[in-house]
Structure 1
């Protein structure tokens, strides 16, 4: 029982330390990690896994190893920002795979991307006719950036010289029956106005799944699958 408890404690602390280090390193998706970042991630996972399954490995050694990996990653990231050559050595350069509707076979081989995968990535960009592509670039993080030829690009309001309204930003002011007071304050409501609204609509707020508010203070309420719009906040 003590062994099981120690293992559970070791696992909890190790995972918490690992998550803390990644939060310090910053938010990035797995696909955006450089080869060095990926190597650090694999090593950290191995260190944590070994510490969990082997009771002879002290927790302090696992934590020290994770801290060292985190510090090393931070130092390398800082150096790669300061020195362009280091960044280039740790990651690959963008590679053009399609130019003027033609696939560049040599570059496909260079980045080891099969033509079937390239076509799949183009379809994910809503490109089903490769002749529409001006250029397609395989980015270092493994994604494809596509620029269509001008004649196949969507027409914008600016090109048509049309005046359009600004995009609306909807702020969730009620989440599962809870009024988001801080967000309402940021939208310009006083504590007194918020309290009056809360008292007036308490029963209904409790039954709201989610409610958004725009800059004009219109509410857009989702309550048991029903959508209401243009309900003014008074």
Structure 2
């Protein structure tokens, strides 16, 4: 039972840590950060199981993490109001071709990061963007402005060739 209690505590500590890191950091991790997370996983395991290297101890720890993951997923499904606090919410970072600096600052993003994502989406200029939205998963969705430069219909003058 001790392993289950420690696994529960570590689950919520890791959950809070990942929420504090922010959306963008998780979406754009460097190789060093990935390795750090792997090392952190090993340290978490040691903290949860102490020196219990048994199959039972590992199964209890993994099962506890899985239980809380599924439980939080169900809570969000059953109580949609929890979604914002548990999963985050999309944030508009570009509106009508203009960066929203306050929202960028809130998620610790730079103009160059937004421009890089625009290029990956096939967008060459900020003026082409109607909406740029930072999704809870860390990706940026872009919605292009409607193009109104289609050729005007030629007027029929009634003359025949």
Give the TM bin, normalised by the shorter chain: 0.5 to 0.7
TM-score (norm 2): 0.60
Greater RCO (CA < 8 Å, at least 6 residues apart): 2
Query: Residue 84 of structure 1 aligns with which residue?
Result: 80
Q: Which residue of 98, 101, 125 corresponds with 2:97?
A: 101
Of residues 120, 125, 134, the one that matches 1:124 is 120
Given that 1:48 and 1:62 are in contact with CA atoms closer than 8 Å, whether structure 2 keeps it comes out as: no
2:132 to 119, 128, 136: 136
Shift in Å, 1:46: 3.0
3-state SS, counterpart of residue 151 of structure 1: coil
2:19 corresponds in structure 1 to none
Counterpart CA distance in 1 for 2:128 and 2:41 is 43
Which residues of 2 match residues 65-214 of structure 1 at below 5 A? 65-151=61-147
Task: State the SS of the aligned residue for 2:147.
Answer: helix
Cα RMSD between the aligned structures?
3.2
Q: Secondary structure at the match of 2:61?
A: helix
Residues 47, 65 of structure 1: 8 Å contact kept: no
Higher-helix-fraction structure: 2
Q: Given the alignment, which residue of 53, 59, 62 partners 1:63?
A: 59
TM-score w.r.t. structure 1 length? Answer: 0.43
- Secondary structure at the residue paired with 1:90? helix
Deviates more, 1:134-143 or 1:80-89: 80-89
Pairing of 1:36-51 with structure 2 (within 5 A): 45-46=41-42, 50=46
1:75–1:124 Cα change, 3 Å: same
Structure 1 gaps of 5+ residues are 1-29, 32-40, 156-234
Deviation of 1:43 after TM superposition, in Å, equals 10
Question: What is the aligned partner in structure 2 of residue 4 from structure 1?
Answer: none
Deviation at 1:49, TM superposition (A): 5.7
Sort the Cα spacing of 1:72 and 1:44 in 2 relative to 1 into closer, same or farther, 3 A: farther
When Rg is computed on C-alpha atoms for both structures, the one with the higher figure is 1
Contact residue 101 and residue 134 of structure 1 kept, 8 A: yes
Deviation of 1:50 (Å): 4.0
